[in-house]
Chains A and B, each alone.
Chain A
Amino acid sequence: MTTKKRYERPVIKRLESNMPAKFGGRSNFEAVTHIENIAVGELISRFGSPLFVISEKRIRKLYKQARQAFETRYPRVQFAWSYKTNYLSAVCNVYHQEGSWAEVVSGFEYDKAISNGVEGSKIIFNGPDKTEEDLKKAITNQSLIHIDHLEELYMLQEIARSTRQRPKVAIRVNMDTGVYPMWDRFGFNYENGQAWDALNKIMYSGNMDLMGLHTHIGTFMLSPSAYAVAASKLAQLARMVQQKYDHEIKYIDMGGGFASRNTLKGAYLPGQDTNPHFDDFAEAISSALINSDYRPKTPPLLILETGRALIDDAAWLLGTVIANKRLSDGKRTTIVDFGVNVLFTSFWYDHRISPAQPFTAYTEDTVMYGPLCMNIDVIRENVSMPLLNKGDYVVVHSVGAYNMTQWMQFITLRPKVIMIDTEGNPHVIRQNEVLANLSSMEQIPPHLATFEL
């Protein structure tokens, strides 16, 4: 008896001779059958579906690429891992092992960095909502406090006076870098003189140490030249402080925001091919600093709070096809077992999605839906996919940034996250949620404890 052939759904489609394919017929499909040499099917049968998979090897590789891009162009460079981008402790600790400090934006993230074992003096504390208690803790630990607004500056002065401790501070500066929309809601504005005013207030107070200058000009930035403008403006402020107070700024923190390999929604070309690399950003920033008129005895430390570009491409989301359907207008739809509650970034990106098993050259235009009973649950609005069967696996690429922090428990619970170590061994680094996790936070008033139907 002959063995049966692999089944592929029969399809027929009309050839539209007058409509060239959007990308010149190029197909970027390749079955992704393995992640770091482990079969997708094996990962799913061991750990369930959907499943986030992170590669430790890839993280370290991306980090080394970024570090090298900057260190070959500027003498003193320090990365600080942006916790909000992915604060799973295993992930943070890979960056810390590589030498990264921590960058946090809330009291909770601050405590997480401390509990991961980061020294207080290597934590950068950003964000507009630091409580008095947060600030006291950060001052005692000699953390670097980046002031966002005048109320915070006054609160710090007050604490410094009453506790006789000297806070180590920087200010966050926002500015026009030629990129719109301009992020002007955080920090002090450069052009209208707010930033200079805040620096004078700090220097006059006499009870704080002005350590650095900080900016974060946006996220998923595609324009290295905007960083050059920002670096020049910070260097200019540093020079003004040096001239007026004979005080050296110890570091310039350029924030995060470098684009990953993802494709923004609506972009015409895939981000894989077009987005700038670390080298482009490093060249823009380093040249601007080196060519500036700020000439202290020691060049300021260049701090980078890169998040997305260091983790996005080191993680995948594996999932399973639940069903295929046709809409009333004949359009094909595929329902997968992960929704926008798990893959939050499908609101921003046209994620690249690959089948995890071999397929023929036939493709179909498909809408890819998640399993939530909600209209918003669209993973890809229009994607040309090979023919997927119920039970087939898919691999979503570049999902490491912001999903494992912005995901939510909504209709479905959050899945497991595993990390494959550099030897190829998978480790669960976050368990999937169960009903008991949710129930443990709820309380039922006695009169609502029982009912009869």
Chain B
Amino acid sequence: MKIKKNIAVSENGFIFNPSSGESFSANPSGLEILNLLRQGHDKESILNHMGENYQTDSQTLERDLTDFIETARQYHLFEHEDE
């Protein structure tokens, strides 16, 4: 599960896919997850990281992360093998 290499992610959460011309925006927690994905973290490690940094429970995190990744997948932001 890896974000496509050519996708640009700006510091303020603006995301641009040059191959489709589409742009997206993410909120701060979404941006944090995108960056972790780009660095190659897997779901488990992202969950740990988020759990350490945010006031929430692991169930909520797990559910929201799954939903987030699913949405990003629908937007074709991941490398082929995961699509």
Contact = CB atoms under 8 A, between A and B. Distances in A.
Interface of A: 4-15, 17, 326, 330, 360, 362, 387, 389-390
Q: Give the interface centre of B25, B52, B65, B68 by most chain A CB atoms within 10 Å.
A: B25
Q: Give the interface centre of B28, B52, B56, B74 by most chain A CB atoms within 10 Å.
A: B56
A14 B75 contact: yes
B34 A4 contact: no
B26 A11 contact: yes
A330 B29 CA distance: 20
Contacts of B77: 12
Nearest to B52: A4
Identify the 3 closest CB pairs spanning chains A and B, nearest first: A10-B30, A7-B56, A362-B27
29 contacts: A4-B52, A5-B53, A5-B55, A6-B54, A6-B55, A8-B28, A9-B29, A9-B64, A10-B26, A10-B27, A10-B29, A10-B65, A10-B68, A11-B27, A11-B71, A12-B25, A12-B26, A12-B30, A12-B68, A12-B72, A12-B77, A13-B24, A14-B22, A14-B23, A15-B22, A15-B24, A326-B67, A360-B27, A362-B27
Given A4-B53, A5-B55, A7-B29, A12 B60 contact: no
A120 B32 CA distance: 68
A17 B24 CA distance: 10
A430 to B, nearest CB: 34
The majority secondary structure among interface residues of chain B is helix
Given A14-B75, A326-B67, A389-B60, A8 B55 contact: no
A9 B57 CA distance: 12
Given A5-B55, A7-B55, A15 B23 contact: yes
Interface of B: 15, 22-30, 32-34, 52-56, 60, 64-65, 67-68, 71-72, 74-75, 77
Contact of A10 (B33, B52, B53): B33
B35 to A, nearest CB: 11
Contacts of A4: 52-55
Contacts of B23: 14-15, 17
A12 B22 CA distance: 13
B64 A14 contact: no
Given A10-B68, A11-B71, A389-B56, 12 more contacts: A6-B54, A8-B29, A10-B27, A10-B32, A10-B33, A12-B15, A12-B24, A12-B26, A13-B25, A14-B24, A15-B24, A15-B25
Contacts of B27: 8-11, 360, 362, 387
Contacts of A8: 27-29
Contacts of A13: 24-26
Nearest to B21: A17
A15 B60 CA distance: 26
Contact of B54 (A7, A11, A15, A362): A7
A5 B60 CA distance: 15
B11 to A, nearest CB: 15
A136 B75 CA distance: 72
A13 B71 CA distance: 8
Nearest to B27: A362
Contacts of A362: 25, 27
A330 B68 contact: no
A1 to B, nearest CB: 10
